[in-house]
Amino acid sequence: MHDFILAKEIVDEVLAIALAQKLGKIKSVSLEIGSKSVPHNHKHAHEHDNHFDELNIENIKFGLENIAKNTILEKTKFKIIKTSGVNWKITDVDV
């Protein structure tokens, strides 16, 4: 479940960047995702570190691809590097 919520948050963030920078399409997005990342808007995420299962990168990719359908990100390649910790960040956007 957290995999899908995280994927939605990532797509929303990339779409916000595209809108702010008036980008028509994005070729690829590089991400670093902590193995126990939670959505940024998840309250008290730091208090629940031991309660979250490790994220499944394949589930996140599946979520990203499906959530991006019918948006300018539909053909975007999401490059994910798995890191330790509970945070995620966008490291590059290639237009």
The whole-model pTM stands at: 0.83
pLDDT at 55: 85
81 vs 33, 40, 48, CA distance in Å? Answer: 6, 18, 23
pLDDT at 41: 56
The Cα–Cα gap between 76 and 24 comes to 12
CB 33 within 8 A of CB 55: yes
The Cα–Cα gap between 54 and 25 comes to 31
pLDDT at 45: 46
Note the CATH architecture for domain 2-94. 2-Layer Sandwich (3.30)
Domain boundaries, the chain: 2-94
pLDDT at 46: 46
Rounded average pLDDT per 10-residue block, the chain, 95 residues = 90 97 95 81 48 80 96 96 92 96
